[in-house]
Amino acid sequence: MSRVAWILTALALVVSACGGDGEDARDILQDTAANMGEIRSGDLNMEVLFSAKDGERAGFTLQGPFALREGQLPEAQLDYTQIAGPETATQTFILKGETAYVRIMGTTYELPQETADEIGSTIGVSGGLAAVDLSSWLENPTREGREEVGGAETDHISADLNASATVNTLLAIASQLGGTEPLVPLTGASAEQVEGAIETATVDVWTGKEDRLLRRLQIALDFAPAAEKLKDLLGTSLDFTLEISSPNEAVTVEQPTDVQPFAP
């Protein structure tokens, strides 16, 4: 997936992801799922890491402030860092006004208008993404207690992960991002193959005690020993973290200066 596609995926997850004493774990998760699309701004911290057989890791992180704007390009400044073993490389994507920029090694370039339009059209499908039921990912939820995340008091829920439901949700997101016909969900033998390729799958959710807005989502997958082709391709495990701090608070994205024309 291209760097811009990862940015779009992260923004889509923000759009789509984004009570009190006596609630059980399932009630808390249902309330959090019902608040999809409510998060309009904040600080994003997203990490995807694959662990290989030899202990090396590969993946990326995406960090920075964002603000979604109705019918307009969002404003954001997101540091995208690629990870390949001990090596890292960072580029910064900036969305300001109706223009998209990328900063590479201290120089800022204006991206083509079609890239900005692509980001805008992705945000425009937020209504469809908000209908994706992330709560279907979770099985056997357990309430772990109260914890502070990003300065907010949260309820921590742990659960088993329904692998095929997770893949079906990602297929739905991919359809939205690509503007394609809906992709066929996994059922029957296909769903069983996905489940069989994963040895363990867990998820932890931290949701605001007062507002039931998602603050942190962590997913851990360990691939089964028999899934050799998958392990050769992706490694032995996958760790995914999505954290949103200070949801719906004002953020500032500075207008870039000394901008250069983009040369592919």
Is there a contact between 44 and 244 (Cβ–Cβ < 8 Å)? yes
Any idea what DSSP says for residue 134? G
Alpha-carbon distance of 152 to 225, in angstroms, equals: 40
Q: Are 130 and 16 in contact (CB under 8 A)?
A: yes
Farthest-apart Cα atoms in the chain, separation? 58
Backbone angles phi, psi at 98, to 5 degrees: -115, 25
For residue 20, what is the DSSP state? -
pLDDT truncated to tens, each residue of the chain (264 aa)? Answer: 455 555 445 555 554 444 334 578 888 988 888 887 788 889 989 888 888 766 778 888 889 998 888 777 788 999 999 888 888 999 999 999 889 999 999 999 999 988 877 766 655 434 433 544 556 667 888 999 999 998 899 999 998 877 655 555 544 444 443 344 444 444 455 445 555 667 777 889 999 999 999 999 888 878 776 656 555 555 677 788 889 999 999 999 999 999 998 876
Q: Which domain holds residue 138?
A: 3-18+27-261
Q: What is the 3-state secondary structure (H, E, C) of 158-170?
A: EEEECHHHHHHHH
Q: Is 8 helix (H, G, I), strand (E, B) or coil?
A: helix
**CATH number for the domain that contains residue 206:** 2.50.20.20
For the chain, how many structural domains are there in total?
1
pTM, two decimals, is: 0.76
